[in-house]
Copies of this chain bind each other. A is one copy, B any other.
Amino acid sequence: MYIGIDLGGTNIAGGLVNDEGVIVMKKSVPTLTERGSEAVIEDIAHVIQMLIDANTSNQKPIAVGIGIPGVSDPITGDVPVCINLNWYNVPLRRRLQEQIDLPIFIDNDATVAGVAEFEIAQEGRYKNAVLLTLGTGIGSGIMIDGKMVSGHHGIGSEFGHTIVGENFYTCNCGHNGCLETFSSSTAIIKYMRHRINDEGAQSDVVAMADGNTANINGEMIFKAAMNGDLLAVETIDRLVKYLAIGMINLVATLDPEIILLGGGLSMAGDFLLNKVVAALHELKYYKALPIAKVAIAKLRNDAGIAGAAMYAKLHMA
């Protein structure tokens, strides 16, 4: 038995997870980040303790895994920077370890989502695989030779912040041209608003958003694109163009066996997948080149909790 914690900007969601990755009990409290890191850490410890106390199985939890929306030092468990929580140099593991007497393993939320996807949903059949989570931003979980890669300082596997072109707006990381400014839901919403508000383009999406571009969301854009709305199609094709560049860069660097697309935008399923596969194959420099398979990720909700627990399990093995 393991404990998995999904530390998000909204909730601290935790669960007791069995050895097969099944969540047998969940506990959740609001994060309330504005209180600062000490209070949030106090609540994380509280969620862990609640789960330990509420455990009715005869197997005791043996380790805790935590997925955070930022980066962590693999040796110390310190969090040098977590922009979404406004954390800088927070000694997360050390503080928790003062209250919790179990081994604690911390990594990026997309990395633990990758563990959930590769170890649970894909049943461990891939040893070289990448999960790209296409949501508000773009996260990545990278597995090489059966191990998750977070890098020497714990700041790797941030594939959404690789630079793939030049864009009309700058990423909130400060760079211009990050993949997530082209291919996340934020990116397509911003592009659509830019084309409509600044350049006078027409789209059915405006009516879907009750005439107010501030209401546009990613689902509306995909729905309109599937119905053939020209601006929506242009917007999705732009997302796909840069996502394929990011993916061919992954192929040229790591050459994974499979690249999985997860996150909210992956709900578009085959409509997105078919476009991405076509664009990726167009970028091969030699047509017969063997190249990564591409598929839609299987896990939706709770991947954060189960993945964090399985991340701890990987480290205990």
Report B-chain residues with C-beta under 8 Å of the C-beta of A291.
Answer: 153, 155
- Supposing A163-B248, A285-B173 touch, asked if A254 and B80 sit within 8 A by C-beta, the answer is no
CB atoms of B166 and A166 under 8 A apart: yes
B166 touches A165 (CB 8 A): yes
Question: Would B80 and A257 count as touching, CB distance under 8 A?
Answer: no
> A245 on the interface (CB 8 Å rule)?
yes
A84 CB to closest chain B CB, in angstroms? 13
Chain B residues, Cβ within 8 Å of A88: 286, 288
The size of the chain A interface, using a CB distance under 8 A, is 52
Q: Hey, which chain B residues are within 8 Å of A157, CB to CB?
A: 253, 255
By beta carbon, the residue of chain B nearest A73 is B290
Binding site for B on A (CB under 8 A): 73, 80-81, 83, 88-89, 128, 140, 142, 144-145, 147, 149-159, 161-166, 173-175, 177, 245, 248-257, 283, 285-286, 288-292
Evaluate whether A164 and B164 lie within 8 angstroms (CB atoms) in the complex, with A142-B253, A253-B142 already known: yes
Contacts of A290 in B (CB 8 A): 73, 80, 153, 155
Most chain B beta-carbon contacts within 10 A, residue among A128, A150, A163: A163
Are B165 and A254 neighbours in the complex by a CB distance under 8 Å? no
**Set of chain B residues within 8 Å of A250, measured between Cβ atoms:** 253
User: In the bound complex, do residue B151 and residue A128 qualify as a contact, i.e. CB atoms below 8 Å apart?
Assistant: yes
Q: Do the beta carbons of B166 and A257 come within 8 Å of each other?
A: no
Chain copies in the assembled complex: 2
Contact check: which of B140, B145, B251, B283 meets A155 at CB < 8 Å?
Answer: B251
A158 to B152, CA, bound (A): 21
CB distance from A210 to the nearest CB of B (A): 36
Tell whether, in the assembled complex, residue A255 and residue B153 are in contact, meaning their CB atoms are under 8 Å apart. yes
Which residues on B sit within 8 Å (CB–CB) of A254?
142, 149, 151, 156, 253-254
Say yes or no: A292 contacts B248, CB within 8 Å. Answer: no
Given the interface contacts A165-B165, A283-B175, A285-B161, does A156 sit within 8 Å of B253 by beta carbon?
Answer: yes
Nearest CB to that of A258 among chain B residues?
Answer: B152
